[in-house]
Structure 1
Amino acid sequence: MNLSIKILSTLFLFLIASLSYSQETKFTRADTLRGSITPEREWWDLNYYHLALEVFPETKSIKGTNTVRYQVKKAHQVLQIDLQEPLRIIDAKQNGQKLEIRKEGAAHLISLPKKQIVGAFEEVIISYEGQPKEAVRPPWDGGITWQKDENGNHFIASSNQGIGSSIWWPSKDHPADEVDSMLISVTVPKNLMNISNGRLRKTETKGQTKTYHWFVSNPINDYGVNINIGDYVHFSEKYQGEKGVLDMEYYVMRDNLEKAEKQFMDAGRMMEAFEHWFGPYPFYEDSYKLVEAPYLGMEHQSSVTYGNGYRNGYRGTDLSGTGWGMKFDFIIIHESGHEWFANNITYKDVADMWIHESFTNYSESLYLDYFYGKEAGQEYVRGTRTRIDNKLPIIGRYSVNSRGSGDMYYKGGNILNTLREIVNDDEKWRKILRGLNSEFYHQTVTTAQVEDYLSMETGIDLSSFFDQYLRNSSLPVLEYFYSDEQTLQYRWSNCIASFDMPIDLELGENKIRVIPSTKWSELKVSKQTDVKVDLDYYVGSFRLR
């Protein structure tokens, strides 16, 4: 490994580690307002947004409105909308009447004089303006990125998964409630284009500006909404997928067209592999787009952003150290995998972010499996283990906008690969992965729902499995020894008391499956032989004597 690769690898590990939370974290009232389903959020269900804004590149500012349509679920008269400073809400109106707003940090509590009747649909129109936070280290430390391309044209994009959609537009900034559909109208200088989610309905030119109207017909998580502004050129292809013809659209900087036409061939290969493993692409109605961005990339729904430099691997490096990571463009494969796990199946609480990242990390190996064979995928998964810390749990704290540790990526992928070994039936495993995307189609979910589904479909009680791997940071170790020539003793250690995962062993030329517990068990054998643990299980092993 040369010095530049070492530096890039260290930087990536640092960025992933920055997702980890400290067990000593002190949470604030602001964390609760952001991360919980407050009484001011609970009573109304999002139906539709019309986000309309103008972007002023020279002053790095924006101004606009968001029309929020909702259905009343139960009687309440105060509605919470979030918008982070330095942006400010100018006013909020319902039926033309200006509403009183009480601000508490980013939370804006809007009093509604009109009686809110259960079952009724209502609208609030929010006007806002200001200079949004500039992204420092996108996409990890998000906001708006303001750059220029090599020709001096403005190159602008949003990225806000961690920091929240309310960093640049007023929203119900909590993942539990996805809007059913959305119109995004963005006005930019007329020499530039804006690419957002969904399909382009129309453009309107007025003086020196041009407005792009994008419509999203499927439910969308708030952090998946994006703007991408620049001197784009466009090319496309038609993909014959499981649900018919899928429009695959590509938007890149003018000078990168030739490179993109070659590199973006990975997008069609991705779609073939992931429809095989996960089921139909979840947003045929809104198309699939891959959009060049002035940062590494992000899984914005139907508008996946790309900044990997038109090269394979992660910025030209193999995160697995096996060579297999150089067979694909990491950002195209990983960020597009999120269309199934993050955008189709979305966490209800950020604490369950593993649902997004573990499955999507695992999708990288399944891509290799599909095109290069199972052992290629297995080698890739095993290679990523050097990046696992095993210091903090994968699941974070609930109701305070707290993510779990960065182990949700590489450890998460290895956990799912271990589960595949337990199932020991690859076609059944594929049906389970496809079933997840069918059962929870366009839904927000909890870890409990995913765990219960996997237990039901595998026919195995996986409660202790997930307690160990998601809620405990230690790596289980299989301890064993021969008590005599024909008796093998074994047990699980370094784990929770209830851990009882089955595991496959090689005893000489024989392959067997045992179900250890944390108490010693014994197995009669014909003679004492070497014991080898199946390498595709993410565990440790230790011979005592």
Structure 2
Amino acid sequence: MKKVFSTIVILLSLYQANAQNFTRRDSLMGGLRPERNSFDVQRYDLSIKVDPDKKYISGYNNITFKVIDNTSRIQLDLFINMKIDSIVYNKTKLTYKRDNDAVFITFPKQLIKGSEEQVRFYYSGNPLVAKNAPWDGGFVFAKDDQQKPWIGVAVQGTGASLWYPVKDHQSDEPDRGASIKVAVPNGLMDVSNGRFTGSEDLKNGYTRWDWEVKNPINNYDITLNIADYAHIHDTNNGLDLDYYVLKIHEEKAKKHFEEVKLMLNCFESKFGRYPFFEDGYKLVETPYLGMEHQSAVAYGNRFKKGYLGNDLSGTGIGMKFDYIIVHESGHEWFGNSITSKDIADMWIHEGFTTYSETVYAECQYGYDEAMKYINGEGAGSMNKRPVIGIFGVNKKGSNDMYYKGALMLNTLRHVVNNDAKWWKLILDYSEHFKKQVITTEDVVAFFNKETGTNLTSIFNQYLRYPAVPVLQLKLNKGKLEYRWQTDEPNFTMPVEVTIDGKPARLLATNTWQSIKTVAKNLDAVAVVTTKFYIKVEKL
């Protein structure tokens, strides 16, 4: 059955892709084929030099991989505007063919299943510059207050191969982590993921800064941050906290970043221990708003509460905390630790992380304030396209993956209707899939098993269709009649209402059901839409 289901999904994805005129480049970026499936990346060792004046990078990536199936040809990726200087295997230069951003590499002999191999991929060039990072991928070459270079990069969705050679697919993270070594002009510092392991003056006007990641890491999370940084160190429950900010902001950061401890304490109580304890936690000030770069979270919120000083929820609650600290750090659990296999399932990152904002609000300000926050923020849901995107072509779903994804989780909390059970479910989910690459089907199966309830139709309606469930109500001869109107067949979900001020819980389906009532009109019936993200039609 699993093979049959997978075939149907693949055929449907191909049909949808063709219908939307996806290109060969999209398929090469988003698809899995023998040249990708035949090997499993074990480690990246990246060593580059960055010339800020020329906006130029050069160097190599050592890519260590395990052979999964016998092969003599693999696919790596590097954007077409970047130059391949050479690809070396066992001191021999390999032949390769470029196809858009894909690089198909041929080995002189077949690589044997089970063997571990390594190629050194030399490259250079001027990487794409982002017009509006982090919403479009690329480098940001800015200046600080002293007119010194201030450089960052953000490539989620666009592809890590924008700036370094990599197997550019979310399904394969380097099992044994990575090292990132970046040489920058003297007087500047590079801050990358993981632990700082040392620096070396190269005696040519450049200093190399070395970083080591012990954990698996998403391709798009690997990063560099270049500036004349001040370094602040702190700890929280044994976890190293390191902050890198422009020197002019050092004193401001010391005070403002105290919120990190509140956030971590809340998230660890709800989601489990910080998943990258071995690599430490960092906030790095960047010339763009933010990004969830694992163990080196990009921070550009200008030391303000809210989202650049604005409340996305419109309730006032969003002005009580720093949105970027909370949201981007939430990704350490949801997106960085638990990763979707395909970008089409990015709601697994964004829905849970957006929900983590509400979790933090509840930790700090209580349940009622949290409900105000999530419903205020959720007013931005559009419900025009499905949350889940198209598989195999690097196509994410709609931006409703953020607010609608969070509102779906809030709805599920109230479907479960038992907070002790709900928080255990969320904690167990975070721990069970820790440092794994998963799919929507994995999420649904876990929630079904742990709750002992078939929640599949609920997930399907919210994720696979644009519309939210509509609860239809009517009065008929002393009875309140109710049913769900949904795209998903056989939809079942309980809902809370009050009738003449008295609470009731209706287990509604697509079929009309009824309960006796003394209500004279539907104005006496109120649906608790703060707990359930639905629409109501009173007929």
User: Shorter-chain TM-score: what band?
Assistant: over 0.9
1:531 aligns with 2:525: yes
Q: Is the 8 A contact 2:500 2:519 kept in 1?
A: no
User: Which of 196, 208, 220 is the equivalent residue of 1:223?
Assistant: 220
Q: How far apart are 1:114 and its partner, in Å?
A: 3.1
In 1: Cα distance, 2:254 partner to 2:19 partner = 49
C-alpha RMSD of matched pairs (Å):
1.4
Corresponding position of 1:510: 502
Corresponding position of 1:197: 193
Select between 332-341 and 257-266 the one with higher mean Cα deviation. 257-266
The aligned runs of 1:226-265 (5 Å cut-off) are: 226-240=223-237, 245-265=238-258
In 1: Cα distance, 2:378 partner to 2:56 partner = 43
Corresponding position of 1:489: 481
Q: How far apart are 1:528 and its partner, in Å?
A: 4.6
In 1: Cα distance, 2:349 partner to 2:46 partner = 26
In 2: Cα distance, 1:246 partner to 1:191 partner = 29
Q: 1:79 to 1:22 in 2, by over 3 A?
A: closer
User: Which of 141, 144, 147 is the equivalent residue of 1:146?
Assistant: 141
In 2: Cα distance, 1:233 partner to 1:200 partner = 14
1:185 aligns with 2:181: yes
Q: How far apart are 1:217 and its partner, in Å?
A: 0.2
Q: How far apart are 1:526 and its partner, in Å?
A: 5.2
Corresponding position of 1:323: 316
Q: How far apart are 1:135 and its partner, in Å?
A: 1.0
Secondary structure of the 1:429 match is helix
Q: How far apart are 1:85 and its partner, in Å?
A: 2.8
Corresponding position of 2:493: 501
In 2: Cα distance, 1:39 partner to 1:321 partner = 49
In 2: Cα distance, 1:125 partner to 1:206 partner = 21
Give the partner amino acid of 1:235: I
User: Which of 212, 225, 247 is the equivalent residue of 2:209?
Assistant: 212
Q: How far apart are 1:315 and its partner, in Å?
A: 0.8
Q: Is the 8 A contact 1:477 1:495 kept in 2?
A: no
Q: 1:79 to 1:24 in 2, by over 3 A?
A: closer
Q: How far apart are 1:258 and its partner, in Å?
A: 1.6
Select between 86-95 and 287-296 the one with higher mean Cα deviation. 86-95
Give the partner amino acid of 2:497: L
Q: How far apart are 1:263 and its partner, in Å?
A: 1.4
User: Which of 171, 178, 182 is the equivalent residue of 2:166?
Assistant: 171
Q: 1:79 to 1:250 in 2, by over 3 A?
A: same
In 1: Cα distance, 2:390 partner to 2:468 partner = 21
In 1: Cα distance, 2:534 partner to 2:357 partner = 21
Corresponding position of 2:88: 93
TM-score, normalised to structure 2's length?
Answer: 0.94
In 2: Cα distance, 1:98 partner to 1:269 partner = 52
Give the partner amino acid of 1:97: T
Give the partner amino acid of 1:79: I
Q: Is the 8 A contact 2:469 2:484 kept in 1?
A: yes
In 1: Cα distance, 2:19 partner to 2:267 partner = 39
The aligned runs of 1:262-411 (5 Å cut-off) are: 262-411=255-404
User: Which of 73, 78, 88 is the equivalent residue of 2:68?
Assistant: 73
Give the partner amino acid of 1:56: D
Corresponding position of 2:424: 431
In 1: Cα distance, 2:152 partner to 2:80 partner = 18
Select between 454-463 and 160-169 the one with higher mean Cα deviation. 454-463
Q: How far apart are 1:120 and its partner, in Å?
A: 0.8
Corresponding position of 2:406: 413
Q: Is the 8 A contact 2:17 2:390 kept in 1?
A: no
Give the partner amino acid of 1:532: A
C-alpha distance after superposition, 1:37-80 (max 9, x if no partner): 12111010110111000000110000010000001111111011
Q: Is the 8 A contact 2:461 2:486 kept in 1?
A: no
Q: Is the 8 A contact 1:140 1:162 kept in 2?
A: no
Give the partner amino acid of 2:44: Y
Secondary structure of the 1:115 match is strand
1:106 aligns with 2:96: no
Secondary structure of the 1:339 match is coil
Mind listing any 5+ residue stretches in structure 2 that lack a counterpart?
A: 1-15
Q: How far apart are 1:496 and its partner, in Å?
A: 2.8
Q: Is the 8 A contact 1:193 1:232 kept in 2?
A: yes
In 2: Cα distance, 1:280 partner to 1:28 partner = 42
Q: Is the 8 A contact 1:85 1:132 kept in 2?
A: no
Q: 1:483 to 1:302 in 2, by over 3 A?
A: same
Q: Is the 8 A contact 2:43 2:64 kept in 1?
A: yes
In 2: Cα distance, 1:407 partner to 1:311 partner = 25
Corresponding position of 1:443: 436
1:26 aligns with 2:21: yes
Secondary structure of the 1:34 match is helix
Give the partner amino acid of 1:361: T
Give the partner amino acid of 2:266: A
1:41 aligns with 2:41: no
Mind listing any 5+ residue stretches in structure 1 that lack a counterpart?
A: 1-20
Q: Is the 8 A contact 1:204 1:212 kept in 2?
A: yes
Corresponding position of 1:6: none
Give the partner amino acid of 2:146: N
Q: 1:99 to 1:471 in 2, by over 3 A?
A: same
In 1: Cα distance, 2:439 partner to 2:482 partner = 35
How many pairs were matched up?
A: 519
In 1: Cα distance, 2:174 partner to 2:487 partner = 41
Select between 257-266 and 42-51 the one with higher mean Cα deviation. 257-266
Secondary structure of the 2:179 match is strand
Q: How far apart are 1:524 and its partner, in Å?
A: 2.0
Identity of aligned residues (%): 43
